Amino acid sequence: MTVTRFAPSPTGYLHIGNLRTALFNYLIARKTGGQFILRLDDTDRERSRPEYVDGIKTDLDWLGLHWDRVERQSERLDRYAAQAEALRAAGRFYECFETPSELDLKRKKQLNMGRPPVYDRAALALDADARDRLRAEGRQGYWRFRLDHERIEWTDGILGDLSIDAASVSDPVLIRADGQVLYTFASSVDDMDMGITHVVRGADHVTNTATQVQIIAAMGGTPPAFAHHSLLTGAQGEALSKRLGTLSLRDLRAQGVERMALLSLMARLGSSQPVVLAESLDEIAAGFDLSQFGAAPTKFDAADLWPLTRQHIQRLPFAAVADRIAALGVPQDIAPRFWDVMRENIDRLDDLADWWALCRDGATPDIATEDAAFVAQALEMLPPRPWGPETWKDWTGAVKTATGRKGKALFMPLRKALTGRGHGPDMADLMPLLQRAPARQ
């Protein structure tokens, strides 16, 4: 059975880059009838917070990316310790004592000599007495995984055949001096234990994948099938990483972005398939094809979400918004008509509140000085409420006959006198919804 996972660290709120990874893994599982695991990578005790866990779950639930089960790395520390001990016994874990400044000096020397800045494995030469002396000096040991210096090869689901020479990569640090288990190790243990069959993540993890292939093999497991999607950039190709904090899913939701607009865009962005608004996640899953995605950086423009959001809103039946409209206080007898009139004239559902306030309370007229006398005469001719579908046509026709005005010079001042706006629904549709007549000038 296909088993995928989304493994965020609860050290912040989910952003648009996280969504891409979560969505791809969800769609692979759902398309094949598999399982989708939400795995909280919360071994960073200082930065992981309960409110971020809640935020992650809230965002995924809003999107409809429902998980089959939740796993937490903080509850698996004993398992990591057991696997670490097994790797030590097998000679694949070794203790190091260099300080960050010493490692930085080594890297600079290697670069100055034209060599790749790869850890020199100096710690392997330390015997027990040397390690004891370093501890006596107050140094704390941290642990690296000893890579086999051979080519690591796999067929990537997006990037194709990949091959990395392990000798060109530093032996990864897997356990810090304070005992914190790092992502590369914990993720390898989890993927093996949980039977993860497919992993989709960003292209910045390619080197991690190479090391994890060896780590999983060293523990006796079978690595999952990996795929690395391109990284997002801004609309002009600029790095998006510094802006991700302003592109959190909770903020986009608060701004009024509709979930199907967001899902439809992210399921196709960066692929050879056109972006089309889908009706459901099942529809998105049916058309999802990982092989259609490329390696080139993918431009993301938040402005692209709004046409899709408007399109989604326009398709919604009254039943889907009935509770929201009722909460505004719109009378039941006109609520369906209110929705039919307004759905074509809003960018987000929150805009309904402004339109109902206008219908209920009236608007401050917007009357140009040169139109004041004309509007005053027209309002004297305005029939009393209630107004019907023919009121606008009959009224403006009478005003045209009386004043000689026509076209935009006739209609726009009257629209602004009734609504305070120069745009909006067709006035023949809007007038029957207006609950209050404007004050006569």
pLDDT in tens, 383-426: 999 999 999 999 999 999 999 999 999 999 999 999 999 999 99
Quick one: pLDDT at residue 234? Answer: 87
Alpha-carbon distance of 339 to 316, in angstroms, equals 10
135-187 pLDDT, tens digit per residue, is 999 999 999 999 999 999 999 999 999 999 999 999 999 999 999 999 999 99
Reported pTM = 0.90
Angle at alpha carbon of residue 203, lines to 119 and 218, rounded to 5°:
50
* Per-residue model confidence as pLDDT tens digits over 331-356: 999 999 999 999 999 999 999 999 99
pLDDT (tens digit per residue) in 360-387:
999 999 999 999 999 999 999 999 999 9
Q: What is the pLDDT of residue 246?
A: 67
Amino acid making up residue 373: A
Q: What angle in degrees, to the nearest 10, is found between the helix axes of 16-31 and 50-63?
A: 60
For the stretch 7-20, pLDDT in tens is 999 999 999 999 99
* Count of alpha carbons within 13 angstroms of residue 306, beta-carbon side: 7
pLDDT in tens, 196-221: 999 999 999 999 999 999 999 999 99
Task: Please report the pLDDT score of residue 441 as a whole number.
Answer: 53
Using the predicted structure, report yes or no on whether residue 245 has a pLDDT greater than 70: no
Q: What is the pLDDT of residues 221-239, one digit of tens each?
A: 999 999 999 999 888 888 7
CA pair distance 403, 408, nearest whole angstrom: 14
CATH topology of domain 233-314: Glutamyl-tRNA Synthetase; domain 2 (1.10.1160)
Backbone phi, then psi, for 316, in 5-degree steps? -70, 135
pLDDT at 87 over 70: yes
Query: Strand, helix or coil at 38?
Result: strand
46 pLDDT tier (thresholds 50, 70, 90): confident
Domain boundaries, the chain: 233-314, 362-433
Q: Where are the alpha helices (DSSP H) in 145-205?
A: 183-193
From residue 354, how far is each of 103, 350, 381, 419 by CA, in Å?
Answer: 60, 8, 28, 11
CA 253/CA 256 separation, integer angstroms? 5
- Sign of dihedral through CA atoms 20, 26, 29, 31? negative
Q: Is residue 441 within 8 Å of 414, Cβ to Cβ?
A: no
- The burial class, CB within 10 Å (0-12 / 13-18 / 19+), for 98 is middle
Of 145, 155, 10, 153, nearest to 71 by C-alpha is 10
- Gap between the Cα atoms of 271 and 290, Å rounded: 8
φ/ψ of 170, rounded to 5, equals -65, 145
Q: How far apart are the C-alpha atoms of 251 and 121, rounded to whole Å? A: 46
